[in-house]
Amino acid sequence: MAKTKPGKKDLDSYTIKGTNKVVRPGDCVLMRPSDSDKPPYVARLEKIEADHRNNIKVRVRWYYRPEESMGGRRQFHGAKELFLSDHYDFQSAHTIEGKCIVHSFKNYTKLENVGSEDYFCRFEYKAATGGFTPDRVAVYCKCEMPYNPDDLMVQCEGCKDWFHPFCMEMSVDEAKKLEHFLCSDCSSDDDTKRSLNSFQVSPPVEAKVEPKRRKR
């Protein structure tokens, strides 16, 4: 067990107030924001502890939504995308509203049905600098953007690259009906191929800022 301050003890689990749902260190949870108009915060439980008065606090590692990051939401960010930050806090356990699942990017793309409790993470985020790990990701289509799992894409049988229907001047319905597809490069005699194969994710200049404290 991890060391705790005198008068405090580590707990193996906590039952979310008003529910029968049990959370443990390592679980991902939804936490109540101070502004009721905002969606719940998402965090990973690192530790649960109680003091001598049985007040229970949790140490959490925050996930950031794209719009909370320095670069803001980008075209390739999925609706359920989160960034695992290096921002930790202690919060009252009573602010936990529910459980959720933060999938790996690969596992999320394999889900047949995405529920309200499902999220995914493919980047770690440095709250003080706005930097991401990994710093670069593969790009697709002639628009040369990273993959957004919310967008339908079709694969070229020639180069094996993936393309957005819109970029190929097709509707989504037309793309769904395709049995075979060749991109414009592969269907022409032009052998010139795109040389770029990655996308810079982090801001070009890393500004020093303090992480925002989550208010409740």
Q: How many domains does the chain have?
A: 2
Whether 203 has a pLDDT exceeding 80, the answer reads no
Statement to judge: residues 103 and 41 lie in one domain: yes
- Inside any domain, residue 4: no
Q: Examine the domain organization and report whether 143 and 109 are in the same domain.
A: no
In this structure, is residue 88 part of a structural domain? Answer: yes
pLDDT at res. 204: 58
Q: What confidence category does residue 78 fall into, taking pLDDT thresholds of 50, 70 and 90?
A: very high
- The whole domain housing 28 covers 9-135
**What residues are paired with 185 via a beta bridge?**
none
DSSP 8-state secondary structure symbol assigned to residue 179? S
Instruction: Tell me, yes or no, whether 55 and 29 share the same domain.
Output: yes
Both 62 and 157 in one domain: the answer is no
Check if the beta carbon of residue 125 is closer than 8 Å to that of residue 86: yes
C-alpha distances (whole Å) from 70 to each of 59, 138, 168 are: 24, 21, 32
- Average of pLDDT values for 123-137? 93
Do 117 and 146 share a structural domain? Answer: no
Mean pLDDT calculated for residue range 104-129: 94
Same domain, 18 and 79: yes
Quick one: 115 and 158 in the same domain? no
Q: Are 36 and 109 in contact (CB under 8 A)?
A: no
The DSSP annotation for 12-27 comes to: S-EEPTTS--EE-TT-
* Percent of the chain topping pLDDT 90: 62
Q: Is the dihedral of CA 160, 161, 167, 173 positive or negative?
A: positive
Q: Are residues 73 and 27 in the same domain?
A: yes
Q: Please say whether the dihedral angle defined by the alpha carbons of residues 101, 104, 105 and 110, taken in this order, is positive or negative.
A: negative
In this structure, the answer to whether residues 45 and 145 fall within a common structural domain is no
Confidence of residue 192 (pLDDT cuts 50, 70, 90): very low
Q: How confident is the model at residue 179 (pLDDT cuts 50, 70, 90)?
A: confident
Same-domain status, 46 and 85: yes
Kindly report the pTM of this predicted structure: 0.79
**pLDDT score, position 70:** 92
List, in order, residues 6 or more apart from 86 with CB less than 8 Å away. 61, 124, 125, 126, 127, 128
CATH of the domain at 152: 3.30.40.10
Asked if residue 1 is part of any domain, the answer here is no
Residues 118 and 38 in one domain: yes
CATH of the domain at 55: 2.30.30.490
Residue 206 lies in a domain: no
